[in-house]
Structure 1
């Protein structure tokens, strides 16, 4: 009967077709298994899975402050996964996870009959956690119309091999370490830090449900972009946990009544805490790692090898410094623009704007391809939507590149570094006002004239070479005939020319005329030699004007030299990487500062200069530290202002911290309109003062804020015990020359 039936044409043809399709499918199946559609990872390869891992940058206390990565991933161990996180994942993504071998055949049958045949979209999917892991690990390839089926079958092969090699706990760990979350974040640990500023082990039930819920659609359920949609998805996860017995209804209702509270951390390059610092660390790290190799003799890759970089930065201190800077710079910028009004150089100085245009990279590119200036001008005049930085909040306007240039010409910028004077460890680092729009680092890259902050080195040299602190010098202006009749002037035109100041009074009040006279008496070569002993390597002009700080020196070098006044006379080299470890915590390299072995000057000189700079704060150019900001800390300091008010400086010295702050316009042709506004006491000092106000409130910083200077010796105090000023006698006042002419000694 069966034989007769099989001979019939209407039976034979379908059977033939079924057999042919089956054979073709088996061949197709075999071709995938044998690697004709791309190699499948072997069990040996799967047993040594290696994924790119983000390099972590930590502060001095181990707090994460940044990462370098292509894929933002931080691996963790199974023990770090809270049970409610695991339960949320299984209830939502793969309820039969502990029962299948990588491919859930029951779920696939359900999908086939309910989802495909009956069009019931609520029946769920057939993918398992292991299948998703296979996709996460190896991605998907394009094979035109066959892409879906090829990739699905390849993933099923890989999933089964994974299940043969790894335990269920290991699979969960691999999954959580590789699964993609919103905002280009890979792995649960990175997601926990980015969205909630916590570790995986500390994720709450609600936070875990938010992150697990986002796996369905990274963008659509991004809690940062779509909080309401994300909250609805979180509630779906919690309901799934109820459905499968992982959570009771009362607890779920409590969690669903709470809003999602993000504590978002920007670990991308331009945002977050200390972006200029992170960039400086990256540059130094790349340079350092050129000297080290991995155990297999290959080079380290900071974007993939999961290195751990320990730095000297104090995260909390950095945050407060950034807050203080923003508060002050916003107000200063407003005052700065008001002072110029309609006469602002960035609005009216055509030559200034044209010169700035020629410095643009786009201008140089256009020039290289042969465009004329008129053609370049036309190209730069095309209007487009551009986001502009503003202290009151960024705005997007339709403007040209020329308009944008003029907009940014007006902004003041800043640089600030604070170091531990005994070690050179950098504690805070502000390279500018906003890294997104101002990439230039004023700590590591910029060299600006340092103004009166150079004067302490002149006085240090003088005292070290035998000059007494109570030596008197006239404040009167002198014309130096052998220097083209150069006449150094003081900031105040109202000073009495018949007054004579001690070195302490002259330094604390930043008297230019006396600084030059002291330099003339001690000699330029000795001052340069003294500066070199403190670690400053930047080139110096060897001109008399150096006494007034006309030389440009990097902030880092200036900080290292000033550290000597609270470090036994020894300068230091500021450093910010303390050690580098591989992803397993094995030490690759460790670092300390280069501290000068021999003091640059005597203990007597150190104490004398420190007392003189204390007077700067108590009665000199930095008195607003006490009067305006009411700081009672032990503080010595020095203000600085360069010619035409283009640079404002403040050096703050406390027993355990030395801080250098600079403020100015990046375009050196634009200064402050008035000295009252542009002096260092008004531009740079307030950042330091506001920062210390904030630190004074927080007991965390008591070792900094409550520290006291060591006692000054009786010898130094006795030598400083004299009237700070005296007037010329009557005969000298009556018959002395109005303006003395003199030659400057350069030897």
Structure 2
């Protein structure tokens, strides 16, 4: 009986003890929550008023438009993402675009009651209060997605929002504790404010768009591309779980650096998805066994489509952004370019295919010798040493150790591991700075641009052989002598002044008298082969065959200043100081960009259209900020333009023309014009090609003018540059989806004023004026003649 009574007393004591513990827990929780709420209102009141004691909070405007650094994206005309400009590599996606796998994994792991709470989860706070504060057990921070978003958006744990209270506590545990409490409460406040201003779906997407994943990937879209090389909407369950597992500790759980740790974290996320019913037991058991299969690729400015183009237009974009109060690197604008993705790929492939073969030929040509030679064909002494002195690294060493110091020579010749370019693939090797410079100087470079002449839109742009290793752009940045590709501007000036394509000139030496003070009194240009045939040639034939003597004759007739004016009207910037006779042979430096625009004027009926690379720019919300229509001006008459097209066609139609060697596949049922160009010693090889819908410019040469083939034959533009145009155009015509077809150039709207059939012209009889002077009196008579065309002055024929 006594035992029973003892047992009842014990049971009653236990019940009383249990009630006491429950009361203690509730009392502690009420005190804990009450204390936090009190501090919450104090922090909120003080922060929003003075912002001194506890630090400030984001203002109204900042909350309405939270700062979220976004990559600016650049697109092709057909909608392909080419690349980005960024400080932080981030691309936003909307809630509707998010993968269901991502949504489920995040909710199940981070905040299962997200769509029920108002920014603060009291259920999670109770869990944290009991386990962490009372029972001293780890229970996580209890932060909702809204609170985590507040931390990501406003850097609440940085110095910007730190108040005088925390600063006065020094650097100790107490400071860190107080700071953590204030920061947490601020995140509560911001979370509640965000919940008032945005929908749940917007907050959810904003959170995923702001999360750092490591490897310079910010936001779920870039993370999916970086780790799995796919769009986030295409992530499977285990991939989505892997990325959600990375969220709170991107370094610790990086699937690239710590694959086993990342796999364990992924499986924990999969377990949560099973707990919340988003996976079956069988699915969970199966998926957790799978390895993490990465396709890791960090987004780089050195890779992707049209790398040279993206780099070359960056200065223009930066100026535009500055004028429009936009940060190119953070404001997430979308730049829509004129580049056609398919044509860009064809251009890059054509250049790569040809340049790889040409480089092999060049290497064999110079086997055992260095390719930098002077005008006499001898190797330039100390060439590499002089080139080395131009390097920023060399200059930094000189600044640090002094010119001529042994340390400069030591470090510039110190071998170190590096990855160098080759046409067979990148090579891991040991090289010094001097070694690598010598190695890279032996590569031939190239530039190619294709443009629609009717609207100025640039459809393809390749500025070099490999952007990662050769940053210099040879389309717009680089300028070299155009050689004979400049001749059409000389002949165009003559056509504008009334000369006919059929006007005949004899191929004989032509000598210019040079101004006093020149190194030589006269200049007699030589033909490429060093010979003069003595034959009569029409201007069309002479330009087609690129005969220097006849071009010099034409230059003398029209004058260098008129040629400079003609070139300037066609967008080729030639200074007045270069208005000299030798300009006829292309001695003024120009760019592929300029020359392509100039030739486009001939095809576009005399209207010069500035080459255009951007059609419109949108803000991050898709609103158009500015559109960029074609900029045009009437440069020459429609008749002059058409006669020049006819002249250019001569290169592929006249016997001995420099474009006759184009593929039959390209010329069949097609009017096509062109002009080769080769500078002295074959330092630069050019080819300009024109069709009814596309104008293309191509340049090939060494990085320095002294690097070239030893003979003119191998280095001429017909062999170094023309094949790139040929391959590109064949690929364009073969792709019917592009819409470019063969055919004839459009004829002028009015009949032209001169006969283009030179045989008919020769058979005609002309009336000419002749002045007879007798005893001081002048009499003008008319007589009928049938002379050689070269003997006629165009002003006398009527």
TM-score normalised by structure 1 residue count: 0.81
Q: Is the 8 A contact 1:231 1:260 kept in 2?
A: yes
**RMSD (Å), alpha carbons:** 4.2
Look up the SS of the partner of 1:621 in the other structure.
coil
Match 1:133 to one of 149, 155, 170: 149
Number of the residue aligned with 1:461:
493
Number of the residue aligned with 1:304:
330
Match 2:202 to one of 161, 166, 170: 170
**Match runs of 1:241-640 below 5 Å:** 241-248=273-280, 267-292=299-324, 299-345=325-371, 349-367=380-398, 371-375=402-406, 376-480=408-512, 484-493=521-530, 497-539=533-575, 541-596=578-633, 598-603=634-639, 605-618=640-653, 620-626=657-663, 634-640=671-677
Residues 470 and 233 (structure 1), Cα distance of their counterparts in 2 relative to 1, 3 Å cut: farther
**Match runs of 1:696-735 below 5 Å:** 696-702=733-739, 704-706=740-742, 708-711=744-747, 719-722=756-759
- Cα deviation 1:444-496 (Å, max 9, x = unaligned): 22221011101111222222322222233333444556564533222235x67
State the distance in 1 between where 2:83 and 2:727 align. 26
Residues 106 and 153 (structure 1), Cα distance of their counterparts in 2 relative to 1, 3 Å cut: farther
1:155, distance to aligned residue in structure 2 (A): 3.5
Q: Please, which runs of 5 or more residues in structure 1 have no aligned partner?
A: 1-14, 293-298, 726-747
1:314, distance to aligned residue in structure 2 (A): 1.9
**Bigger shift: 474-483 or 576-585?**
474-483
State the distance in 1 between where 2:327 and 2:537 align. 60
Residues 1:71 and 2:97 are matched in the alignment: no
- Cα deviation 1:548-604 (Å, max 9, x = unaligned): 1111112222111111121011222112222333333344333233311x341342x
Q: Please, which runs of 5 or more residues in structure 2 have no aligned partner?
A: 1-23, 48-52, 160-170, 374-378, 515-519, 763-798
Residues 564 and 264 (structure 1), Cα distance of their counterparts in 2 relative to 1, 3 Å cut: farther
Q: Is the 8 A contact 2:457 2:613 kept in 1?
A: yes
1:194, distance to aligned residue in structure 2 (A): 5.5
Look up the SS of the partner of 2:366 in the other structure.
helix
**Bigger shift: 404-413 or 559-568?**
404-413
Residues 220 and 694 (structure 1), Cα distance of their counterparts in 2 relative to 1, 3 Å cut: farther
Number of the residue aligned with 2:21:
none
Look up the SS of the partner of 2:470 in the other structure.
coil
**Match runs of 1:43-62 below 5 Å:** 46-62=63-79
Match 1:154 to one of 177, 180, 183: 183
Residues 47 and 359 (structure 1), Cα distance of their counterparts in 2 relative to 1, 3 Å cut: closer
Residues 698 and 250 (structure 1), Cα distance of their counterparts in 2 relative to 1, 3 Å cut: farther
1:425, distance to aligned residue in structure 2 (A): 1.9
**Bigger shift: 349-358 or 716-725?**
716-725
State the distance in 2 between where 1:635 and 1:192 align. 47
1:634, distance to aligned residue in structure 2 (A): 4.3
- Cα deviation 1:639-681 (Å, max 9, x = unaligned): 1111111111111212222111111112122222232331112
Residues 511 and 153 (structure 1), Cα distance of their counterparts in 2 relative to 1, 3 Å cut: same
Q: Is the 8 A contact 2:448 2:462 kept in 1?
A: yes
Residues 588 and 125 (structure 1), Cα distance of their counterparts in 2 relative to 1, 3 Å cut: closer
Residues 691 and 236 (structure 1), Cα distance of their counterparts in 2 relative to 1, 3 Å cut: farther
**Bigger shift: 95-104 or 72-81?**
95-104
**Bigger shift: 139-148 or 429-438?**
139-148
Residues 335 and 30 (structure 1), Cα distance of their counterparts in 2 relative to 1, 3 Å cut: same
Residues 1:649 and 2:680 are matched in the alignment: no
TM-score normalised by structure 2 residue count: 0.76
State the distance in 1 between where 2:136 and 2:722 align. 71
Q: Is the 8 A contact 1:557 1:573 kept in 2?
A: no
Number of the residue aligned with 2:780:
none
State the distance in 1 between where 2:491 and 2:561 align. 14
Look up the SS of the partner of 2:662 in the other structure.
helix
**Bigger shift: 374-383 or 409-418?**
374-383
Q: Is the 8 A contact 1:629 1:690 kept in 2?
A: no
Number of the residue aligned with 2:787:
none
Q: Is the 8 A contact 2:267 2:288 kept in 1?
A: yes
State the distance in 1 between where 2:420 and 2:692 align. 41
Residues 45 and 715 (structure 1), Cα distance of their counterparts in 2 relative to 1, 3 Å cut: closer
Q: Is the 8 A contact 1:57 1:311 kept in 2?
A: yes
Number of the residue aligned with 1:94:
111
State the distance in 1 between where 2:711 and 2:252 align. 54
Q: Is the 8 A contact 2:669 2:742 kept in 1?
A: no
Q: Is the 8 A contact 2:259 2:292 kept in 1?
A: yes
1:108, distance to aligned residue in structure 2 (A): 6.8
Equivalences, count? 695
**Bigger shift: 671-680 or 627-636?**
627-636
**Match runs of 1:182-193 below 5 Å:** 182-192=214-224
Q: Is the 8 A contact 2:605 2:642 kept in 1?
A: no
Q: Is the 8 A contact 1:346 1:406 kept in 2?
A: no
State the distance in 1 between where 2:445 and 2:410 align. 30
Look up the SS of the partner of 1:652 in the other structure.
strand
Q: Is the 8 A contact 2:606 2:637 kept in 1?
A: yes
State the distance in 2 between where 1:144 and 1:404 align. 52
Residues 153 and 557 (structure 1), Cα distance of their counterparts in 2 relative to 1, 3 Å cut: same
State the distance in 2 between where 1:204 and 1:699 align. 36
Q: Is the 8 A contact 1:608 1:716 kept in 2?
A: no
Look up the SS of the partner of 1:421 in the other structure.
coil
State the distance in 2 between where 1:226 and 1:487 align. 73
Q: Is the 8 A contact 2:415 2:430 kept in 1?
A: yes
**Bigger shift: 269-278 or 443-452?**
269-278
1:315, distance to aligned residue in structure 2 (A): 2.5
Q: Is the 8 A contact 2:671 2:743 kept in 1?
A: yes
